[in-house]
Amino acid sequence: MLLANVEGSVVATMKDAHVAGRKLLLVRPQFVDDRNPARFRAGRETLVAVDTVGAGVGEMVVICQGSPARLAPDLMNAPVDAVVMGIVDVVDMLGQQCYSSKT
């Protein structure tokens, strides 16, 4: 599992029947900054992830990648590599709050 920021959405009018009707989001993984563990640094790559929780642009989410992503409801036979499986409220690191959806 990874933390990621939702940076946008992807519209595909033609897609595999197993993901028809599913929202696709463009997400960028977030990593704890080595120099300042109270902050995140953005990953270099973006991913397209199937949204299973109703996330939106600007939110921090939890994503799952690889074959475990297909364990999300109704995605068992889908050609999916990444799934948004949670919307983050708060992240605490080393006893310090480094993210809150309220701010």
Q: Which domain holds residue 54?
A: 2-100
Return the pLDDT at 9. 97
Give pLDDT tens digits for 63-94: 999 888 888 878 888 899 999 999 999 999 88
| Number of structural domains in the chain | 1
Q: 35 burial class (0-12, 13-18, 19+ CB within 10 angstroms)?
A: exposed
Return the pLDDT at 89. 97
**98, 91 contact by CB (below 8 A):** yes
> HSE of 30 in the Cβ direction (CA atoms, 13 Å)?
20
Query: What CATH number is attached to the domain comprising 84?
Result: 2.40.50.220
Return the pLDDT at 62. 98
- Average confidence score pLDDT of the chain: 92
pTM for this structure?
A: 0.91
Q: Where are the beta strands (DSSP E) in the chain?
A: 2-10, 24-32, 40-42, 47-51, 60-65, 82-87, 90-93, 96-100
